[in-house]
Every structure is written in structure tokens, then in C-alpha cells.
Structure 1
Amino acid sequence: MDGVSVTAQGLGLKGPRGWVFRGVALDAGPGALIAVEGPSGSGRTCLLLTLTGRMKATEGTATVGEARLPKQSAAVRRIGAVANVAGVTDLEPALTVGEHLRERALLQSRFGDSLRDLLRPRAERGARARQRVDDALTAAGLDLESLPKGARTAVRDLERIEALRLSVALALIAKPRLLAVDDVDLKLSGPEQAEVRTLLTSIAAAGTTVLAVCAEAMAGAVVVRTTGPQTTEAAAETTEATQATEAAEGTEAADRKGDGDALAATGRA
């Protein structure tokens, strides 16, 4: 999948208690590895969500591919995917790895594929879905055979790095042109952080533009640093306010996901 360019000029987001981030400038080409670097509470996650069309900037401009933000946020959401974002892409602890993968593949085939794909024979659609999952697992470096119970392993039994890889795999099922991953080095050991850096570098090298939030940028990445002046409490309040705006604008998408969840649940029953 070909990546997209990501640019920003004077990008800022203001919340009830002040600026979450401000003056962000970025110029990254297709297939770039972009590192959003900064301390916790500095607005890193909010910047990630803004650049993926899930939050509205207060000032400045940004483009993702040919789409301009914030006016074409829906277009950006169609070509981008997010992973490992608390409160947005949380995994269900009681479900197994296989159930998460099947559900995401079902949602993708139902709402993400073209009408032409939906009209293909059922056997062909099933084979394409399985291939899509296999490709995503390979790209995310998640070997189901290495898990305690294989695909039947519950999420609650995964190591943190395994859960991160699963979240990335779920995002890659949609074959996004922009992959955004939050907190890529949170609570990971030194060797595990090195594994994740290698993983994200390989995904970018394969052509997908990668946007990663981290405490310390990876070598060779296009670096954006956030130094938001607000406290973590203020950042949380701002996040709630901007997510409320997103929810109001994304009703149609939410309805579709709800339908998909119900459909997936029926498939598991």
C-alpha cells in the first residue's frame, strides 16, 4: 500500500485551559516514519488524532495526501488507521486474539470494501479476508503459534508488546496509507522498544506512512516535538471536549461500527 505525504504549518489545538499544542510544523513524504516526541501530557496523542482526522485543530493547516484538514477529515479517516490509542482502540480483555481478528475482518469487508468486492462469491470473499488477516499479522510481526493458546489466547493473557502488535495488526487489516500508533514505547523494556522501532521502520519501508507517538524518536524518523504547557489533567479535559466534537460529526461512522459489532457478535454466537 502506497503511503501519503503529511504536512502541517502552524497547527495548534486549544482547550478550555489553554493550548494543548501549538505551532506544529511538519513536512514528510509518502512512506515516511514520523515520530511525535515529547513527555507524557504534552499533547502528543491529541496531535496524532488531529493528523488522522479525529480531532479538529484550532489554528493552522495540515494536509494528508491530497486531503486538507480539518475540512476533509472524513477523507483522511478513510485512508488512515490508528492503533494502541487508549479510549479509542482499546482491546476487549475477554475476547480472544482470533475473535478480534475475525471481527475486524468482518467490519472491513462489510463497511470498508468496495461494492464490487461485496458482490464477489462468498468463498472468494472469505479467502480474501483470511489473506488480509495473514498479511496484517505478518506485517505486525505477530506469530499466533507463539501465543500460549494460539488464536484462542485471550487478550488479558497477552504480554504488552503482543497486545501492541495485535493492535497494529488490526489497524493494518484496512490496508491504510497512514498508520498512526500511540505510546509505542510505554512500559516496554529496552529490547522490546528496539523490537517496536524495527517493526515500525519495516512498515514504513514497505510503503505505508507511519506516525508514531514516543518518548524518544527513532533513528531516521521525521521528528515533531510537542511541549504542551498544560498539565495531564488539562490534557484529559481537552481530549474529552474534542472527542465530543468528533462524536457529533462522526455519527454515521459510529452507527456503522455499531451495526458491525452486532453482526460480528452474531457470528461469534
Structure 2
Amino acid sequence: MGAEAEERPHGAAVVADGLGLKGPRGWAFREVTFRAEPGSLVTIEGPSGSGRTCLLLALTGRMKAQEGSAEVGGLPLPRKMAAVRRISALGQVPGVSELDPAFTVAEHLRERALLQRRYDGSVRALLRRPAERAAATRARIEEAVAAAGLDLSALPKGERTSVRDLERLEALRLSTALALIGRPRLLAVDDTDLKLSDADRAEAWTLLRAVAAAGTTVLAVCSEAPEDTLRITTLAATTDPDATEAAAEPDAEAAEPDGTEPKTPAEKPAPDADTGTATPDATDTDTDTGTSTDHTTEEGAADALAETGRA
């Protein structure tokens, strides 16, 4: 009982202070400052191409910032990127962590559980009898599926349903379940509300609130964040390249990949420039606002992503 309690996820505090990341043609994000307590639901909102994904990847140790500092669970970034990757997990992140459309739901779950057991299992766990290991794997899968609210019996072919046949909300639940199999302290999800109806969007946020309430800190990229979350906003810049935009939230995109995860193509850049923004302090009722001192660009974000092999 005691050992099992020690394995249960506990959220990682996330702190950023003047965080910035630059690509060859400009800043992907800059002057990002905020603090999130363990078990917080942190939303990174803004238009597509405004640097949201790069910020998400930088805060999970998968992209290397060049300016400022950050800590995740007390681990400093970028110095401890590998350690941060070990305590964080990616849900859906297009081009980085994606579901294979040809796999079934059961195949995805079994593969992730086996990989998790292979790479982070204790020596004692590896020495268990096969029947015990199989039971532990099933229990971990069932726990993650329940936490993600994925009802396997409601799928068209149950757990044998192919990913290509899943509705978008179901795919979000599956990718969240896969991430939770590792019992991370930090869960990151991209494009949370993309192509969801109002009802499905509400269910998606209910899911992520539940994950956070259970103790795992959640970072979620979206186009419009619920008001009850710690919001970090990325904004499109004005046409004046010297203009600076300030807001009560931040912006991001740049790169250093996690060797355990696939490298795949990036989001397509749009023609406008972006501006990194400021962020709130989750520990106070008031918010602290940082201001970018230089404009950021979609080109900078796209170039930073390209350096990870995503473009």
C-alpha cells in the first residue's frame, strides 16, 4: 500500500522567468513569466502560429530556450531538460506525439504500457513472474483509461476500434490515457479545442480539470481558454515590426527533441509576425505582467520547430 501510494502522480510546479526562445529568423516567444502550483490547469491560448506549441515543448524539456529561466518540479531548464522529460508526458501534439491511424485502441495502450515497463520499471518489477507483470500492466492501463474517461465499450468496435475511426474527442481521451500510463507529474496537450463542438469542448475541459484535480499539473494549448484556468496568452503582432504587445499571458515555439519521441513535420507557418507576451502568477489573486521587448515572428517559431525535425 505504501509503495503504491508513492507511485501515485503528484503535480510539478512550473515556474518561468523571462523565458524566451529564438529561431534563425526571429523570436518564437519571449519574456514569458508565470508561476503555476502543482496540480494546476495552465492554458496557453492564442491563434495558430503564435508560438503556443513551442512554449509547450520548451516547458516540457523538449525545446531549448535561449533566454531567461524556468523550473519544472524544481528542475531547472534548460540545464535539466532530460530530467524534465522523465517527469512529463505529451498527450496529443501534432508532429511530435501522434496516434497511428492504423493501430487499434488496444494496440496503442498495450504498446505504451510495455514501453513504460521496459524503460522505467524497477529491477524488482522486471523480476516478477510473467503473470504478475501482465496483471500490473492491465491495472496500469485500466487506471489510465478511467482517468481519461475513455469508455472502451462505447467505441464502434470496442478496444479493437482503429484510431482512424475515432471521433476527435475520443482521440483526445486516448492520447491522454497513453500519457497517463507513465503517471507523469506534468501532462502537456496541444490543440485541445481544435475542431470540437461546444459540447465536446466542454467535455475536453472537464477531462483536463479532472486530471489536474487528481494531482497532475496540466499544460493545454487552445484557441480560447476557460476563465477558471491559469491563462497564458500568445498574440499576433501588429504590422509595425517595432511594436510590442503586452498581455496577462505568454507565447512560445522552438526546439530540442526528446530522443524517445518521433520527429515529424511542423505546423505550417502563417505570414504574420507574432509577439511573445506576459504571464500571470498562479500564487496570487493579482497577476504579474511581463512585456516583450522585441517582436516575435511566426517564421522564428517555424524555424525553431524545423530544427527539431518537425518542418
Q: Give the Å deviation of 1:225.
A: 1.4
Corresponding residue for residue 121 of structure 2: 113
| Cα deviation digits, residues 29-69 of structure 1 (max 9, x gap) | 11011111111111000000000000000100000012000
Instruction: Tell me how large the CA RMSD over aligned residues is.
Output: 1.4
Q: Which amino acid aligns with 2:80?
A: Q
State the alpha-carbon separation in 1 of the partners of residues 186 and 221 from structure 2. 14
**SS state at 2:16 partner:** strand
Alignment of 1:103-142 (within 5 A): 103-142=111-150
Rg bigger for which structure?
2
Structure 2: give runs of 5+ residues left out of the alignment. 1-8, 236-273, 276-295
Whether 2:26 is the aligned partner of 1:18: answer yes
Corresponding residue for residue 145 of structure 1: 153
Alignment of 1:1-269 (within 5 A): 1-227=9-235, 228-229=274-275, 232=298, 234-241=300-307, 243-244=308-309
| Cα deviation digits, residues 183-237 of structure 1 (max 9, x gap) | 1000111111000010000110011000111111123211111233456555332
**SS state at 2:69 partner:** strand
Instruction: Decide which moves more: 170-179 or 115-124.
Output: 115-124
Q: Which amino acid aligns with 1:2?
A: H
**SS state at 1:183 partner:** coil
State the alpha-carbon separation in 2 of the partners of residues 153 and 232 from structure 1. 37
State the alpha-carbon separation in 1 of the partners of residues 297 and 174 from structure 2. 31
Query: Contact conserved, 2:26 with 2:297, CA < 8 A, in 1?
Result: no
**SS state at 2:50 partner:** coil
Q: Which amino acid aligns with 1:236?
A: A
Identity score, percent: 61
State the alpha-carbon separation in 2 of the partners of residues 149 and 81 from structure 1. 28
The number of residue pairs the alignment matches comes to: 244
State the alpha-carbon separation in 2 of the partners of residues 186 and 87 from structure 1. 15
Ranges of 4+ aligned residues in structure 1 off by more than 4 Å? 230-234
Instruction: Decide which moves more: 213-222 or 72-81.
Output: 213-222
Query: Contact conserved, 2:16 with 2:70, CA < 8 A, in 1?
Result: yes
Structure 1: give runs of 5+ residues left out of the alignment. 247-269
State the alpha-carbon separation in 1 of the partners of residues 299 and 26 from structure 2. 12
Q: Tell me the TM-score normalised to structure 2 length.
A: 0.76
Where is the helix percentage greater, Structure 1 or Structure 2?
Answer: 1
Q: Give the Å deviation of 1:145.
A: 0.3
